[in-house]
């Protein structure tokens, strides 16, 4: 029989994943505001989104093994720091180029958070529920 304390690490990693996912998506609903404020054409909005995707892709290609090197918990912490930096840059962006830089950094954070959190969820899952670990991870 499992106790609630055996679920605590799993819940904490789940919370970090949810916070990270929400943090990476914060700027997306603001694109129409940026478009109106800076008089951006739709292709520029696309370039800003592409900067985010390049950050994700670069992380998955070149930093995908970071969790193996420094551990999933440290990688989650690094990801949360990158999200914070990217959000600050995005909040104080004065043009589309600076916003793209912020979104690129957030893309890096998104890749770090996703890979390390899913690995962490697998490691922290109580033994009694290991058979449903993939389903729970995908739901979270």
- 71 conformational bin, left if phi > 0, alpha if psi -120 to 50, beta if neither: left
89 φ/ψ angles, rounded to the nearest 5 degrees:
-60, -45
Residue that the structure tokens 């995707």 belong to: 53
Average pLDDT over residues 2-30: 81
pLDDT at 4: 56
Query: How do residues 70-80 score in pLDDT, each as one tens digit?
Result: 999 999 999 98
Structure tokens at 105: 């950094």
**Mean pLDDT, residues 122-137 taken together:** 82
Mean pLDDT of 53-64: 94
Mean per-residue pLDDT, 114-127:
86
pTM: 0.86
**How far does Cα 78 stand from its chain's mean position?**
10
CB under 8 Å to 85, separation ≥6 — which residues?
105
Confidence (pLDDT) at 5: 59
* pLDDT, tens digit (0-9, with 9 covering 90-100), for 74-97: 999 999 899 999 999 998 999 999
- Is the pLDDT score of 108 beyond 60? yes
Q: What is the mean pLDDT of residues 28-53?
A: 92
Greater pLDDT, 94 or 3: 94
Rounded CA-CA distance 105/7 in Å is: 32
Buried b (16+ CB within 10 A) or exposed e, 48-77: bbebbeebbeebbeebeebbeeeebbebbe
> Which pLDDT score is estimated for 96?
94
């Amino acid at each position: 029989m499992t106790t609630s304390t055996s679920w605590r690490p799993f819940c904490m990693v789940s919370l970090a994943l949810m916070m990270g996912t929400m943090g990476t998506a914060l700027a997306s609903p603001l694109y129409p505001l940026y478009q109106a404020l800076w008089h951006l054409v739709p292709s520029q909005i696309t370039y800003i989104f592409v900067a985010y995707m390049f950050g994700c892709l670069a992380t998955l290609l070149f930093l995908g093994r970071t969790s193996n090197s420094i551990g999933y918990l440290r990688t989650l912490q690094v990801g949360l720091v990158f999200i914070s930096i990217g959000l600050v840059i995005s909040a104080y962006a004065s043009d589309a180029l600076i916003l793209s830089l912020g979104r690129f950094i957030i893309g890096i954070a998104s890749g770090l958070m996703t890979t390390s959190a899913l690995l962490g969820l697998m490691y922290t899952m109580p033994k009694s529920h290991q058979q449903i670990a993939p389903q729970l991870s995908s739901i979270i």
